[in-house]
């Protein structure tokens, strides 16, 4: 039975402990309602291979799901990206997209370097406090600060420790610095 809506297949082996086989992805890409694939496997060689294999399907969206691979994936021809850290501040992510699409790879790489600093800060925070709410507290703070929403946390989430809020603010500041590269 076909899906009633267009579907984007999402592969995130880090959380599922299963990596979709390339053959399965290519088979799904030919399904009428599957319009794209988000690859969060962090395997750039695989991504490159999928790009080559999917060239005959120009309307199929191949998107990067890892923040540290955005610029390189776009340079190779990715359709785009879907990443959670974009919620901290979308501007540097939009900037890297625009720079690469305009052929300004040096600016794109510079912005990617700044995005990587944000990734490192978030990873350090999660390493220090591995609960899933660590990331959500950081994103929640950034979204509130931008006036996007009041709260994305669950009722059972405790208040964020002060150091998480400080790291969230540092992440926002890093995004602002990256935005200054445009």
In a shared domain, residues 102 and 182: yes
pLDDT of 5-26, one tens digit each? 999 999 999 989 999 999 999 9
In a shared domain, residues 97 and 176: yes
- Of 82, 108, 141, the last residue of a domain is 82
Q: Are 26 and 54 in contact (CB under 8 A)?
A: yes
Give ∠ CA 16-20-21 in degrees, rounded to 5: 150
Give the model's pLDDT for residue 182.
72
In a shared domain, residues 151 and 65: no
Give the model's pLDDT for residue 2.
67
Name the domain count of the chain: 2
In a shared domain, residues 90 and 139: yes
- Of 32, 60, 82, the last residue of a domain is 82
């Amino acid at each position: 039975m076909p899906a009633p809506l267009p579907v984007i297949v999402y592969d995130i082996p880090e959380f599922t402990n299963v990596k979709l086989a390339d053959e399965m992805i290519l088979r799904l890409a030919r399904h009428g309602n599957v319009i794209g694939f988000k690859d969060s496997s962090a395997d750039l060689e695989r991504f490159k291979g999928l790009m080559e294999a999917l060239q005959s399907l120009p309307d199929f969206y191949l998107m990067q799901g890892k923040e540290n691979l955005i610029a390189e994936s776009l340079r190779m021809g990715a359709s785009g990206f879907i990443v959670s850290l974009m919620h901290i501040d979308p501007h540097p992510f939009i900037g890297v997209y625009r720079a690469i699409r305009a052929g300004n790879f040096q600016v794109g790489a510079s912005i990617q370097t700044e995005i990587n600093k944000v990734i490192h800060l978030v990873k350090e925070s999660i390493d220090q406090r591995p609960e899933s709410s660590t990331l959500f507290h950081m994103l929640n703070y950034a979204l509130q600060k931008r006036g996007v929403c009041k709260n994305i946390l669950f009722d059972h989430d405790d208040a964020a420790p002060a150091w998480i809020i400080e790291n969230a603010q540092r992440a926002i500041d890093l995004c602002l610095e990256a935005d200054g590269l445009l």
